[in-house]
Amino acid sequence: MSDEGRVTRGEVRHYRDLIVWQRAMDWVTVVYSASRTWPSDERFGLASQVRRAAVSVPANIAEGCARRSTGEFLQFLGIARGSLAEVETLLILAARLGYLDDATSKPILAEADEISRMLAALIAALKRRPK
């Protein structure tokens, strides 16, 4: 069952129950793995930035879910979407710089797109939620 239906019915009791959080956590591990092979001079540059932004996605989902109001949850989901777009941009840049090949970057970007759709659906459901 999708997160958006479970959230609007009040069935989600913890952020760990959210499928989008679970998928984002798995995705972060893939981003970490992919960035592990980048040049060592990028360790404190692009690699660090992409990792921090990737971690921000599930972290903001969790923080927003733990807040007391739907408005705060929506704000943090928006931040998560922004971080997701940042990671996508950084991964595209890494591919242009030759740090990622298509076989590695395409599945990561496809999963990012899916997580983005899931976040958009969750945001829409929360906006429809009775006050």
CATH number at residue 90: 1.20.1440.60
Closest CA to 6 of 23, 19, 22: 19
C-alpha closest to that of 112 among 17, 49, 44, 31: 31
Mind giving me the DSSP string for 10-66? T---SGGG-HHHHHHHHHHHHHHHHHTTS-GGGTTTHHHHHHHHHHHHHHHHHHHHH
Q: Give how many domains the chain has, as a whole number.
A: 1
Per mean pLDDT, which range of 26-30, 55-59, 69-73, 78-82 is the poorest? 69-73
What does pTM read for this prediction? 0.89
Question: Percent of the chain at pLDDT above 90?
Answer: 82
What integer is the mean pLDDT of 60-85? Answer: 95
Average confidence (pLDDT) over 84-99: 97
Please state the rounded mean pLDDT for residues 86-103. Answer: 96
Contacts of 126 (CB under 8 A, 6+ apart): 4, 7, 8, 70, 73, 74, 77
pLDDT at 102: 95
CA-wise closest residue to 37 among 111, 97, 106: 97
Structural domain of 14: 3-128
Instruction: Provide φ and ψ at 91, rounded to 5°.
Output: -70, -40
Tell me, what DSSP letter sits at residue 100?
S
Q: Which of 7-16, 59-68, 97-106 is predicted least confidently?
A: 7-16
